[in-house]
Amino acid sequence: MKRVVVFTGSGISAESGIKTFRDSGGLWEEHDVRDVATPEAFERNPKLVLEFYNQRRRDAMAAKPNAAHKALVKLENYFEVQIITQNVDDLHERAGSKNVLHLHGEIMKARSTINPNLIYILTSPEINFGDLCALGSQLRPHIVWFGEAVPEIENATKLANTADIFIVIGTSLEVYPAAQLIHYAPRRAQKYYIDPRASENENVPKDMVCIPEKAGVGVVRLVKKLVEELTMNN
């Protein structure tokens, strides 16, 4: 079975009502990263950081997977599909995708501040100041903050390198090391980039087919094309 590796960013969740970061109205227009998404910010004002992520968690819990998430699930009937996402929401999983690797953490998980392997699945939207892990330390969001290591990046580059088809969806490709993934897809792989601003993005390799569409249209259309091509060739 051919392997499709899909690399997603916040753009795939935009039509589910979850804000992106760098578009107009995006999260980094409303908040300074240094106040809400760094270890220093958490040290300085944990309540502000916890509330920032409590609000993002409420938004993620209220959102529903959209047509793009669902089209990627349909692809699993015809290809081996591995999703690598920069997103911390669980919309890929809730749509039914089975293989999802989160590079920047998961909003529905909390972890200990003294043992990073002590991770808790959240069912309520809040982590509050005073919520402690089993070792008695404050719980924090299980999110990779700016300035922190990206533990899954090596796994992700290995997975990207196994792609027969590599699809990038809804990311500005501005944040490293995640953005470097596009250079790990094998030369022989078919490569696609679905994003309304795909054609304006200089970070895109020449052999990547740009599809300047919203995910809800572009992903559905590309999945249909890939399935048709596969069934015609078999």
Which positions are annotated as active-site residues?
A: 104
CA distance to 46, 69, 149, 197, per residue, from 112 (Å): 14, 31, 16, 39
Shortest CB 206 distance to ligand APR, Å: 19
Q: Beta strands 80-85 and 208-211: pairing type?
A: unpaired
| Residue of this chain nearest to ligand APR (CB atom) | 11
For residue 3, list its beta bridge partners: 80
- Smaller CB separation from ligand APR, 141 or 170: 170
Token pair recorded at residue 59: 């938004």
Residue number, 2 or 31, with CB nearest to ligand APR: 31
Nearer to ligand APR, 119 or 150 (CB): 150
Residue 2, both tokens: 């051919």
113 CB-near residues (< 8 Å, 6+ apart): 133, 137, 138, 139, 140
Whole-number minimum distance, CB 1 to ligand APR, in Å?
Answer: 27
* Least Cβ distance, residue 88 to ligand APR (angstroms): 7
**Residues in touch with ligand APR (CB under 6 A):** 9-11, 14-15, 20-23, 26, 86, 104, 170-172, 174-175, 195-197, 214-215
Beta-carbon contacts of 114 under 8 Å, excluding residues fewer than 6 positions away, are: 133, 135, 137
Task: Give me the residues paired with residue 141 across strands.
Answer: 110
Q: Are 151 and 131 in contact (CB under 8 A)?
A: no
- Smallest separation, CB 97 to ligand APR (Å): 17
Q: Which helix (H) or strand (E) holds 232?
A: helix 215-233
Nearer to ligand APR, 133 or 173 (CB): 173
